[in-house]
Amino acid sequence: MNTKKPLIKLVKFCRYLPMNHLTSRYRLHLNQAIDDPAQNQRWQQAARQSAVLVGLVKNGQQWQILLTQRAFHLRHHGGQIAFPGGKLEPSDASLTATALRESEEEIQLKQQYIQVLGNLPPFYTATGFEVTPVVATLSQGFQLVPDRNEVADIFFMPLQHAMQNRHHSKHKMHYGPQRITWIPYQGKLIWGATAAIIDSLCRQVSL
């Protein structure tokens, strides 16, 4: 029997079983909300559903997070760092299906390389979206090609870097106080919902 710690330990509400064959010095608990529910309450009922793929790939002894930079010409959030993902479409069977479909459309990440582990609790944005992060590991052999209409760049950030380089501050917004998270990485600035999701991921990782 394998006695090593699993990389991902899912709690009861997750839709998927833990991947016991995965080993790491990290254990991830997908059981904490990404943001304060009291702050989110005003947006929940009117929020439009969407999903993003939080892809984790092992490079040597190091786990890395798959990220994209949105195309600069886009009207909304152009040039910002993001996870592949988008809005729930009527043809999507689930939010997990949304994240997988969008990942293939945006960066040609084929579903055969994606092992879904579970969903983090949804994050509610001030722009009216309910974002469900779908956590998955990526097996080796995938080829990524950006759709230049949507994606300017694809890169990987070490999970350890994210854990050690998160910054937080509180700002007064028109809808009330908001906790802002940002992460600098190789000349890029990760902030907004993407940084908040990474922050949640890091806070739920324990040695």
Where residue 119 sits, what CATH number does that domain have? 3.90.79.10
Q: Which residue did the predictor score with more confidence, 3 or 53?
A: 53
Half-sphere exposure of 159 (CA within 13 A, CB side): 28
Tokens of 41: 């309450």
Q: Is residue 160 part of a domain?
A: yes
Residues 148-202: tens digit of each pLDDT: 999 999 999 999 999 998 887 665 555 556 667 889 999 999 988 899 999 988 8
Residue 10, pLDDT above cutoff 90: no
- Residue 47 and residue 130 in contact, taking contact as beta carbons nearer than 8 Å: yes
Q: Give residue 176's pLDDT.
A: 59
Does some domain include residue 51?
yes
Task: Identify the pLDDT of residue 32.
Answer: 32
Residue 7: pLDDT band (50, 70, 90) is very low
Residue 67 lies in a domain: yes
pLDDT for the residue numbered 1:
38
Two tokens, residue 160: 């350890």
Measured CA distances, 195 to 65, 72, 92, 153 (Å): 12, 19, 26, 17
Q: Which domain holds residue 201?
A: 8-206
pLDDT digits (tens, 9 = 90+) for 47-65: 789 999 999 999 988 999 9
Burial profile 92-111: b = 16 or more Cβ within 10 angstroms, e = fewer: beebbbbbbbbbbebbebee
Give the Cα separation of 109 and 141 in Å (integer).
10
What's the number of domains the chain is made of?
Answer: 1
More confident residue, 128 or 160: 160
45-49, 128-132, 141-145, 196-200 — most confident range: 141-145
pLDDT digits (tens, 9 = 90+) for 73-124: 877 667 889 999 999 999 999 999 999 999 999 999 999 999 999 988 888 8
The pLDDT value recorded for residue 174 is 53
- Answer whether residue 189 is part of any domain: yes
What residues are paired with 115 via a beta bridge?
137
Please report whether residue 1 resides in a domain. no
What pLDDT is stored for residue 20 in this prediction? Answer: 31
Structure tokens at 18: 């833990």
Q: Is residue 3 part of a domain?
A: no
Residue 165: CB atoms within 10 A of its CB come to 15
Whether the CB-CB separation of 96 and 119 falls below 8 Å is answered with yes
**Given this model, what pLDDT does residue 30 score?**
41
Angstrom distance (rounded) from CA 129 to CA 46? 8
- Check whether 127 has a pLDDT greater than 90: no
Distances (CA, A) of 9 to 15, 43, 89, 108, 124: 12, 30, 30, 28, 24
196 falls within a domain: yes
Q: Which residues, in sequence order, are CB contacts of 46 under 8 Å at separation 6+?
A: 128
Residue 111 lies in a domain: yes
Report how far residue 177's alpha carbon sits from residue 172's, in angstroms, rounded to the nearest whole number.
4
Residue 23 has pLDDT above 60, yes or no: no
